[in-house]
Protein backbone atom coordinates (compact mmCIF):
# COMPACT_ATOMS: atom_id res chain seq x y z
CA UNK A 1 0.00 0.00 0.00
CA UNK A 2 1.40 3.40 -0.98
CA UNK A 3 0.91 6.16 1.54
CA UNK A 4 1.02 9.63 -0.05
CA UNK A 5 0.71 11.94 3.02
CA UNK A 6 3.36 10.79 5.44
CA UNK A 7 2.23 13.33 8.07
CA UNK A 8 -1.13 11.63 8.54
CA UNK A 9 -1.34 8.63 10.84
CA UNK A 10 -1.20 5.26 9.30
CA UNK A 11 -4.67 3.86 8.62
CA UNK A 12 -5.86 0.42 7.64
CA UNK A 13 -6.73 0.15 3.87
CA UNK A 14 -10.47 0.34 2.99
CA UNK A 15 -10.09 -1.72 -0.20
CA UNK A 16 -7.83 -4.39 -1.57
CA UNK A 17 -4.36 -3.25 -2.73
CA UNK A 18 -3.60 -2.87 -6.38
CA UNK A 19 -2.13 -5.95 -8.11
CA UNK A 20 1.24 -5.56 -9.96
CA UNK A 21 1.30 -8.96 -11.89
CA UNK A 22 1.71 -9.50 -15.79
CA UNK A 23 -1.57 -11.33 -16.58
CA UNK A 24 -2.45 -9.60 -19.97
CA UNK A 25 -1.08 -7.15 -22.55
CA UNK A 26 -3.71 -4.47 -22.48
CA UNK A 27 -4.24 -4.86 -18.81
CA UNK A 28 -0.47 -4.62 -18.36
CA UNK A 29 -0.28 -1.43 -20.43
CA UNK A 30 -3.19 0.12 -18.58
CA UNK A 31 -1.59 -0.75 -15.32
CA UNK A 32 1.71 0.89 -16.34
CA UNK A 33 -0.05 4.06 -17.48
CA UNK A 34 -2.05 4.29 -14.28
CA UNK A 35 1.11 3.67 -12.25
CA UNK A 36 3.00 6.38 -14.12
CA UNK A 37 0.23 8.89 -13.52
CA UNK A 38 0.24 8.03 -9.84
CA UNK A 39 4.00 8.63 -9.60
CA UNK A 40 3.68 12.00 -11.36
CA UNK A 41 0.81 13.00 -9.05
CA UNK A 42 2.84 12.03 -5.98
CA UNK A 43 5.80 14.13 -7.17
CA UNK A 44 3.62 17.17 -7.78
CA UNK A 45 2.06 16.94 -4.32
CA UNK A 46 5.45 16.62 -2.63
CA UNK A 47 6.86 19.59 -4.54
CA UNK A 48 3.90 21.79 -3.67
CA UNK A 49 3.81 20.91 0.02
CA UNK A 50 7.55 20.46 0.70
CA UNK A 51 9.53 22.69 -1.69
CA UNK A 52 12.68 22.44 0.46
CA UNK A 53 12.69 18.66 0.15
CA UNK A 54 14.42 18.81 -3.24
CA UNK A 55 16.78 21.69 -2.24
CA UNK A 56 18.88 22.99 -5.12
CA UNK A 57 17.24 20.72 -7.74
CA UNK A 58 14.10 22.88 -7.95
CA UNK A 59 15.73 26.22 -6.99
CA UNK A 60 13.70 26.51 -3.76
CA UNK A 61 14.77 28.56 -0.78
CA UNK A 62 17.73 27.35 1.17
CA UNK A 63 17.15 25.58 4.44
CA UNK A 64 17.77 27.80 7.48
CA UNK A 65 21.31 27.77 8.81
CA UNK A 66 21.65 27.20 12.52
CA UNK A 67 23.01 30.22 14.38
CA UNK A 68 26.59 29.98 15.52
CA UNK A 69 27.13 29.44 19.22
CA UNK A 70 29.37 32.05 20.82
CA UNK A 71 31.70 30.93 23.57
CA UNK A 72 31.56 34.30 25.35
CA UNK A 73 28.55 34.83 27.70
CA UNK A 74 25.91 37.34 26.55
CA UNK A 75 26.46 40.92 27.61
CA UNK A 76 23.87 42.59 29.90
CA UNK A 77 21.28 44.74 28.21
CA UNK A 78 21.72 48.52 28.50
CA UNK A 79 18.65 48.71 30.75
CA UNK A 80 20.14 46.29 33.29
CA UNK A 81 21.91 47.75 36.31
CA UNK A 82 25.66 47.12 35.94
CA UNK A 83 27.46 45.39 38.80
CA UNK A 84 29.21 47.68 41.26
CA UNK A 85 32.81 48.18 40.28
CA UNK A 86 35.38 47.15 42.89
CA UNK A 87 37.14 49.96 44.66
CA UNK A 88 40.55 50.77 43.29
CA UNK A 89 43.44 49.31 45.23
CA UNK A 90 45.49 52.02 46.91
CA UNK A 91 48.74 52.03 48.75
CA UNK A 92 46.84 52.17 52.06
CA UNK A 93 44.50 49.27 51.23
CA UNK A 94 46.27 46.74 53.48
CA UNK A 95 46.46 49.15 56.39
CA UNK A 96 42.76 50.06 56.02
CA UNK A 97 41.78 46.38 55.95
CA UNK A 98 43.80 45.60 59.08
CA UNK A 99 42.28 48.59 60.86
CA UNK A 100 38.73 47.52 59.92
CA UNK A 101 39.38 44.00 61.19
CA UNK A 102 40.79 45.39 64.40
CA UNK A 103 37.77 47.63 64.94
CA UNK A 104 35.35 44.76 64.37
CA UNK A 105 37.32 42.59 66.80
CA UNK A 106 37.30 45.26 69.52
CA UNK A 107 33.53 45.78 69.11
CA UNK A 108 32.96 42.03 69.53
CA UNK A 109 35.17 41.92 72.61
CA UNK A 110 33.28 44.84 74.21
CA UNK A 111 29.94 43.11 73.63
CA UNK A 112 31.23 39.85 75.14
CA UNK A 113 32.94 41.29 78.22
CA UNK A 114 32.46 39.75 81.64
CA UNK A 115 33.18 41.02 85.15
CA UNK A 116 36.69 39.55 84.94
CA UNK A 117 37.44 41.84 81.96
CA UNK A 118 36.67 45.05 83.86
CA UNK A 119 39.36 47.38 85.18
CA UNK A 120 39.29 48.25 88.93
CA UNK A 121 37.21 51.43 88.58
CA UNK A 122 34.68 49.63 86.37
CA UNK A 123 34.43 46.80 88.87
CA UNK A 124 33.50 49.15 91.69
CA UNK A 125 30.86 50.79 89.48
CA UNK A 126 29.40 47.38 88.62
CA UNK A 127 29.40 46.28 92.28
CA UNK A 128 27.05 49.06 93.33
CA UNK A 129 24.82 48.43 90.31
CA UNK A 130 24.61 44.67 91.02
CA UNK A 131 24.08 45.04 94.79
CA UNK A 132 21.26 47.53 94.32
CA UNK A 133 19.62 45.45 91.61
CA UNK A 134 19.66 42.13 93.50
CA UNK A 135 17.98 43.76 96.51
CA UNK A 136 15.28 45.25 94.29
CA UNK A 137 14.78 41.99 92.41
CA UNK A 138 14.53 39.90 95.60
CA UNK A 139 12.06 42.33 97.09
CA UNK A 140 9.92 42.22 93.95
CA UNK A 141 9.63 38.40 93.80
CA UNK A 142 9.07 37.71 97.52
CA UNK A 143 5.43 36.87 98.49
CA UNK A 144 4.03 38.54 101.66
CA UNK A 145 4.16 35.33 103.74
CA UNK A 146 7.82 34.55 102.91
CA UNK A 147 10.54 35.71 105.28
CA UNK A 148 14.34 35.36 105.28
CA UNK A 149 16.64 34.06 107.97
CA UNK A 150 19.74 34.63 105.80
CA UNK A 151 20.43 36.36 102.53
CA UNK A 152 23.96 36.47 101.09
CA UNK A 153 25.05 38.10 97.84
CA UNK A 154 28.56 37.84 96.37
CA UNK A 155 29.85 39.74 93.34
CA UNK A 156 29.43 39.23 90.43
CA UNK A 157 26.14 37.35 90.92
CA UNK A 158 26.03 34.42 93.38
CA UNK A 159 23.37 34.40 96.08
CA UNK A 160 22.09 32.21 98.93
CA UNK A 161 18.73 32.57 100.62
CA UNK A 162 17.35 30.68 103.64
CA UNK A 163 13.91 31.35 105.06
CA UNK A 164 10.34 30.33 105.86
CA UNK A 165 7.21 30.26 103.71
CA UNK A 166 3.61 30.15 104.96
CA UNK A 167 2.85 27.14 102.77
CA UNK A 168 4.18 25.10 99.85
CA UNK A 169 2.40 27.30 97.30
CA UNK A 170 4.13 30.44 98.54
CA UNK A 171 7.50 28.70 98.52
CA UNK A 172 6.94 27.56 94.93
CA UNK A 173 5.89 31.07 93.92
CA UNK A 174 9.06 32.47 95.46
CA UNK A 175 11.20 29.87 93.68
CA UNK A 176 9.58 30.70 90.35
CA UNK A 177 10.26 34.39 91.00
CA UNK A 178 13.94 33.67 91.62
CA UNK A 179 14.15 31.75 88.34
CA UNK A 180 12.67 34.74 86.52
CA UNK A 181 15.49 37.10 87.49
CA UNK A 182 18.09 38.15 84.92
CA UNK A 183 20.03 35.09 83.73
CA UNK A 184 19.11 33.25 86.92
CA UNK A 185 20.09 29.68 87.75
CA UNK A 186 18.51 28.34 90.94
CA UNK A 187 19.28 25.14 92.85
CA UNK A 188 16.86 24.12 95.63
CA UNK A 189 18.32 23.04 98.95
CA UNK A 190 16.44 22.73 102.22
CA UNK A 191 12.73 21.88 101.95
CA UNK A 192 11.10 20.70 105.19
CA UNK A 193 7.78 21.18 106.91
CA UNK A 194 7.66 23.93 109.51
CA UNK A 195 5.16 25.50 111.89
CA UNK A 196 2.85 24.11 114.55
CA UNK A 197 0.68 22.31 112.03
CA UNK A 198 3.51 21.60 109.60
CA UNK A 199 1.80 23.70 106.93
CA UNK A 200 4.74 26.01 106.48
CA UNK A 201 7.98 25.35 104.62
CA UNK A 202 11.56 26.00 105.63
CA UNK A 203 13.60 26.39 102.47
CA UNK A 204 16.95 27.37 101.06
CA UNK A 205 18.08 28.19 97.53
CA UNK A 206 21.54 28.60 96.07
CA UNK A 207 21.59 30.54 92.82
CA UNK A 208 23.21 33.06 90.53
CA UNK A 209 22.20 35.94 88.29
CA UNK A 210 23.93 37.42 85.25
CA UNK A 211 23.78 41.18 85.17
CA UNK A 212 25.25 42.91 82.10
CA UNK A 213 28.54 44.70 82.57
CA UNK A 214 28.08 46.86 79.46
CA UNK A 215 26.02 50.01 79.39
CA UNK A 216 27.23 51.33 82.74
CA UNK A 217 28.36 54.97 82.90
CA UNK A 218 32.06 55.67 82.55
CA UNK A 219 33.34 55.63 86.15
CA UNK A 220 35.71 58.10 87.77
CA UNK A 221 39.11 56.91 88.88
CA UNK A 222 38.40 54.92 92.04
CA UNK A 223 42.04 54.18 92.90
CA UNK A 224 42.93 55.83 96.20
CA UNK A 225 46.03 56.90 98.07
CA UNK A 226 46.34 56.17 101.80
CA UNK A 227 44.97 59.57 102.82
CA UNK A 228 42.05 59.16 100.46
CA UNK A 229 41.28 55.71 101.90
CA UNK A 230 40.76 57.14 105.39
CA UNK A 231 38.49 59.86 104.01
CA UNK A 232 36.36 57.32 102.15
CA UNK A 233 35.79 55.24 105.29
CA UNK A 234 34.80 58.39 107.14
CA UNK A 235 32.24 59.17 104.41
CA UNK A 236 30.91 55.60 104.58
CA UNK A 237 30.28 55.79 108.34
CA UNK A 238 28.67 59.22 108.01
CA UNK A 239 26.31 58.03 105.26
CA UNK A 240 25.32 54.99 107.33
CA UNK A 241 24.76 57.08 110.48
CA UNK A 242 22.47 59.47 108.57
CA UNK A 243 20.23 56.44 107.84
CA UNK A 244 20.27 55.16 111.42
CA UNK A 245 22.98 52.52 110.90
CA UNK A 246 25.97 52.34 113.20
CA UNK A 247 28.87 50.57 111.50
CA UNK A 248 31.75 49.00 113.37
CA UNK A 249 35.30 50.11 112.69
CA UNK A 250 36.51 48.45 109.44
CA UNK A 251 38.97 45.57 109.84
CA UNK A 252 41.44 44.55 107.12
CA UNK A 253 40.84 40.98 105.92
CA UNK A 254 43.43 40.63 103.16
CA UNK A 255 45.56 42.58 100.71
CA UNK A 256 47.12 41.60 97.39
CA UNK A 257 49.13 43.35 94.69
CA UNK A 258 47.23 44.10 91.48
CA UNK A 259 49.68 45.62 89.03
CA UNK A 260 51.02 48.84 90.55
CA UNK A 261 48.16 48.98 93.10
CA UNK A 262 47.02 47.02 96.15
CA UNK A 263 43.64 45.32 96.36
CA UNK A 264 42.51 45.62 99.96
CA UNK A 265 39.42 43.97 101.47
CA UNK A 266 37.91 45.19 104.75
CA UNK A 267 35.08 43.90 106.91
CA UNK A 268 32.50 45.92 108.80
CA UNK A 269 29.00 45.28 110.17
CA UNK A 270 25.98 46.99 111.69
CA UNK A 271 22.33 46.48 112.63
CA UNK A 272 19.79 47.70 110.12
CA UNK A 273 16.60 46.83 108.25
CA UNK A 274 16.40 45.43 104.72
CA UNK A 275 15.29 48.84 103.49
CA UNK A 276 18.09 50.65 105.31
CA UNK A 277 20.85 48.58 103.68
CA UNK A 278 19.19 49.16 100.29
CA UNK A 279 19.15 52.92 100.94
CA UNK A 280 22.78 52.92 102.06
CA UNK A 281 24.01 51.24 98.89
CA UNK A 282 22.00 53.65 96.76
CA UNK A 283 23.42 56.67 98.58
CA UNK A 284 27.00 55.44 98.24
CA UNK A 285 26.50 54.93 94.52
CA UNK A 286 25.03 58.38 94.04
CA UNK A 287 27.92 59.92 95.97
CA UNK A 288 30.42 58.13 93.69
CA UNK A 289 32.08 56.38 96.60
CA UNK A 290 35.54 55.04 95.81
CA UNK A 291 34.91 52.01 98.04
CA UNK A 292 33.41 48.90 96.48
CA UNK A 293 31.15 46.18 97.92
CA UNK A 294 32.37 42.63 97.28
CA UNK A 295 29.77 40.88 99.44
CA UNK A 296 27.01 41.47 101.94
CA UNK A 297 25.43 39.02 104.39
CA UNK A 298 22.06 39.77 105.96
CA UNK A 299 21.14 37.63 109.00
CA UNK A 300 17.82 37.86 110.83
CA UNK A 301 18.17 39.16 114.38
CA UNK A 302 14.80 37.94 115.66
CA UNK A 303 12.85 41.14 115.06
CA UNK A 304 12.46 43.43 112.08
CA UNK A 305 16.17 44.18 112.12
CA UNK A 306 19.06 42.27 110.50
CA UNK A 307 22.77 42.11 111.11
CA UNK A 308 24.53 43.28 107.93
CA UNK A 309 28.10 42.11 107.33
CA UNK A 310 29.82 44.02 104.51
CA UNK A 311 33.02 43.13 102.64
CA UNK A 312 34.44 46.49 101.53
CA UNK A 313 36.90 46.72 98.60
CA UNK A 314 39.49 49.42 98.02
CA UNK A 315 42.23 49.82 95.39
CA UNK A 316 45.13 51.74 96.88
CA UNK A 317 48.22 53.02 95.07
Q: Per-residue pLDDT tens for 219-265?
A: 999 999 989 999 999 999 999 999 999 999 999 999 999 999 999 99
How many separate helices (H) and strands (E) can be counted in the chain?
6, 8
Question: In angstroms, rounded to a whole number, what is the distance separating the alpha carbons of residues 278 and 131?
Answer: 8
- Tens-digit pLDDT profile for residues 111-128: 678 999 999 999 999 999
- Tens-digit pLDDT profile for residues 157-181: 999 999 999 999 999 999 999 999 9
Domain boundaries, the chain: 29-57, 120-316
- Residue 308, CA distances (Å) to 179, 205, 266, 297 in order: 25, 19, 14, 6
- Tens-digit pLDDT profile for residues 14-43: 443 333 344 444 554 445 545 555 555 565
User: Class for domain 120-316, per CATH?
Assistant: alpha beta
The CA-CA-CA angle for residues 252, 258, 261, to 5°, reads: 75
- Residue 60, CA distances (Å) to 43, 46, 51, 52, 304 in order: 15, 13, 6, 6, 117
Provide the residue count of the chain.
317
Q: 71: part of which helix (H) or strand (E)?
A: none
Amino acid sequence: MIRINLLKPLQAPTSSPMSLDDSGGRRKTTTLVVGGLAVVALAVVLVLQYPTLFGGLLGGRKPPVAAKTHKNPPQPKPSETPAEKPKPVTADAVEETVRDLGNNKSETQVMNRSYADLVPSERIEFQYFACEKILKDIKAVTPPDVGFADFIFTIPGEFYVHGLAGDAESMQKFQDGLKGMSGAAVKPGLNVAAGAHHEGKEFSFLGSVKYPVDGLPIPPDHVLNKAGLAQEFSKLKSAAKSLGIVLKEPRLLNAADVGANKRMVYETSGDCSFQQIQDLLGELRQAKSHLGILKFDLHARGDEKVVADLAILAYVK
